[in-house]
Structure 1
Amino acid sequence: MDKSKEILMLFKENEERAFRELFNSFYDNLLLYAIQFLNDSETAKDVVQDCFVDFYVNKRFNFIRIGLEQYLFQAVKHRAIDHIRSQQRREHRHQIVMTEICENVSSTANEQNELEAIYVAINQLPEARRKIFTMIYLDGMKYQEVADKLSISINTVKKQMGRAFKTLRENLQGLSFTAILMIYFKRVFQK
């Protein structure tokens, strides 16, 4: 009996032992496969780990109709492609936001100072709050996506965004904060 079939049968007896065997048998090859798509070993590790977690948590071993090895490689391929597409969307949104900021801010020294003040104010936010703010504002993620990615509640995301806006409003006065809000709401309502 081949290794894949042995592991699938072991899942019926002892899921934890089977999962360890699955991980030890396939991790290295799946990692090398993911690196071919992503060209980044750290991201590839995350993708492969996510596939293993999904496989175990959602008990995918109960639903495999093709070979285990084929299933795992397909799962890694699809997750890697999804990651690449997601990264491209984030980069595209970031370019749009940067273009809008540049269009709304002329090259006068005063306005350049305002743009710098925006970045300084954002960078002065507490680390967790800044991360949530940039994931939503610059990366274009939805509140629920951020909550899922950071393993926190959506209410925590909402509170942190509210606090981020409050802090920015206090630190940026007049046109700077208004420009942030205009760009943000314009982008949100276009979705």
Structure 2
Amino acid sequence: MAKIMCVDLPEQEKEKIFKSLFELFNSRLLLFAESMLSANEEAADLVQEAFVALWQRMDSFDNLQAIKVFLYLTVKNKCLNIFKHEKVVRRFTDGYMPEPEDKHIMARLIEAEVLGEVQQALTKLPAGCRNVLHLSYFEGLRNNEIADRLNISINTVKTQKARALRLMRDLLKKQPFHFLFFFGNIF
């Protein structure tokens, strides 16, 4: 893991590090929070609060793994606090809302991390491959529909899709998924 030492750094350097951390973790944390909560604005607010808490404690972290754990735990705990509050409110309105189990939270965390890695890998693909992959897997279009939309041949679609999948596989092979084992111990 990369070392991050913010103690005794000029404010401008801390801001650069913080911006990099925000870019690295924001979308993943947002996916995680949105998967646990029903309101997307509430999820975005929680993630922002987690980053505010990180900024306030930047000097106490010395590595990326510690920051990652802090951010996920902060978002998780804030989501659980919302569930507890809603549970009390619903108890008085005769509704019931079960609190999510740890295994569901872990599954959502893993999903957010994996989707974050996939999104990051997608940005590294050439534009043609990225477009074909997006239309095929995220919009559900068939090869002939993609060819019509992009005004290219079906063979080009097939070639771009195969190339994109090969590149994605290579990019994702390089990603460390050992964090799954680490997170398994904190939930």
Q: TM-score, normalised by structure 1?
A: 0.39
In our comparison, the structure showing a higher alpha carbon Rg is 1
From the two aligned structures, give the one with the greater helix fraction: 1
The higher-RCO structure (CA 8 Å, 6+ apart) is 2
Q: TM-score, normalised by structure 2?
A: 0.40
